[in-house]
Amino acid sequence: MGDMTNSDFYSKNQRNESSHGGEFGCTMEELRSLMELRGTEAVVKIKETYGDTEAICRRLKTSPVEGLPGTAPDLEKRKQIFGQNFIPPKKPKTFLQLVWEALQDVTLIILEIAAIISLGLSFYHPPGESNEGCATAQGGAEDEGEAEAGWIEGAAILLSVICVVLVTAFNDWSKEKQFRGLQSRIEQEQKFTVVRASQVVQIPVAEIVVGDIAQIKYGDLLPADGLFIQGNDLKIDESSLTGESDQVRKSVDKDPMLLSGTHVMEGSGRMVVTAVGVNSQNSSPPSSLNKNNSAIDSGINLTTDTSKSATSSSPGSPIHSLETSL
């Protein structure tokens, strides 16, 4: 299952949605589109389409106070329709791919070229070399021995390159294997607080489903997308998705959108989960986030260019002094 790509998960979820879309008041595609909106635009969309966040909870057959019933059939049905809270990891690189990447080092490339040239010269014999060798009897045996052993230098360089490449590739392969094992263990041990059957319980993050009522507090890393339904002075750091360092204040009336992968910096509250796994914004950032990042990058580039021009034109700057002297 770990080798499945995001596209496989998307196609599987789409088939499940088409066959089970009538069991809930909103489909996975509708919820995913809703979570792409921000601020006032999201509030207007919720009011026009659903009425309010409590109406969305009713459509998802959950209660803001009691949460989901927590029965196995209901949880399994939600996983089939809305997907699991699991993002398949990228396919690990093979050992041969790591060897090829190690061979791209500039120093190793230079050594490879030097070794090939050395081997070529060791086996190359000019046409007139045999006649000159007959005229000089003394020292001829020594020159012949050096010529026969000339290939050893090139072979030694190639052998060294091969050893370095294999060691580097093996180290990278070992580190990647250890990292994946550590990541898998962390995912299994990581838990989050939700409300099920009027009981506050902690469950593994992978077991969170759409419709769960999650309790959030300062320091939490949100494991799924959701709508803020109640709480106090909630501020979220969305820099991991939008690139903006300013904390975003969340409220039911102004901006109830909570995104997976963001951090709770202040306050506490509850949210209803609306998207998990590959359907969350952390898995596939929408075009609106990409536009925000592009705007931020453009602003940074513009600021950098302006500062450069100001520095170069400043009368007291070293660049101005150098231009004047030239």
Query: 219 and 165: one domain?
Result: no
Separation CA 250–CA 228 (nearest Å): 7
In whole angstroms, how far apart are CA 159 and each of 153, 173, 245, 246, 248?
10, 21, 50, 54, 57
Number of domains in the chain: 2
Query: 111 and 176: one domain?
Result: yes
In whole angstroms, how far apart are CA 160 and each of 12, 239, 280, 322?
49, 45, 48, 47
**145 assigned to some structural domain:** no
Q: How far, rounded to the nearest angstrom, does the alpha carbon of residue 214 sit from its chain's CA centroid? A: 24
Q: Domain range holding 71?
A: 20-85+208-279
**292 assigned to some structural domain:** no
In whole angstroms, how far apart are CA 47 and each of 40, 94, 252?
11, 50, 11
**61 assigned to some structural domain:** yes
* Residue 188 identity (one-letter amino acid): Q
Q: Which of 225, 203, 200 is nearest to 215 (CA)?
A: 200
Q: What angle do CA 27, 29, 35 make, to 5 degrees?
A: 105
Interacting residues of 68 by C-beta distance below 8 A, sequence separation 6+:
61, 62, 74, 75, 196, 197, 209, 211, 212, 213
Query: 47 and 117: one domain?
Result: no
Q: What angle do CA 16, 241, 254 make, to 5 degrees?
A: 85
Query: 184 and 95: one domain?
Result: yes
**73 assigned to some structural domain:** yes
Longest dimension (CA), the chain: 105
Q: How far, rounded to the nearest angstrom, does the alpha carbon of residue 91 sit from its chain's CA centroid? A: 13
109-112, long-range: CB < 8 A, 24+ apart: 111/157, 111/160, 111/161, 112/157, 112/158, 112/161
Cα(first)–Cα(last) distance of the chain, in Å?
Answer: 66
Query: 158 and 235: one domain?
Result: no
pLDDT digits (tens, 9 = 90+) for 260-303: 888 999 888 999 999 988 888 876 544 334 444 443 344 444 34
Query: 72 and 218: one domain?
Result: yes
Q: Are 262 and 236 in contact (CB under 8 A)?
A: yes
Last residue of a domain, one of 190, 222, 248: 190
28-35 and 72-82 are packed helices; what angle lies between their axes, rounded to 10 degrees? 70
> DSSP 3-state assignment of 128?
coil
Separation CA 166–CA 56 (nearest Å): 56
pTM of the model: 0.59
Q: Which of 54, 58, 62 is nearest to 230 (CA)?
A: 54
Return per-residue pLDDT of the chain as tens, 326 residues: 444 444 444 444 444 444 444 577 788 888 888 888 888 888 888 888 888 888 888 898 898 888 898 888 989 999 888 888 887 777 888 888 888 988 888 988 898 888 888 888 777 666 655 555 444 544 555 555 555 666 788 888 889 889 999 999 999 988 888 888 877 777 667 888 999 988 899 988 888 999 899 999 998 889 889 999 888 888 998 887 777 778 888 888 888 889 988 899 988 899 999 998 888 887 654 433 444 444 334 444 434 444 444 444 444 443 343 333 43
**115 assigned to some structural domain:** yes
**284 assigned to some structural domain:** no
| CATH code, domain with 34 | 2.70.150.10
As a whole number of Å, the CA-based R_g of the chain is: 32
Q: Which of 117, 107, 112 is nearest to 151 (CA)?
A: 117
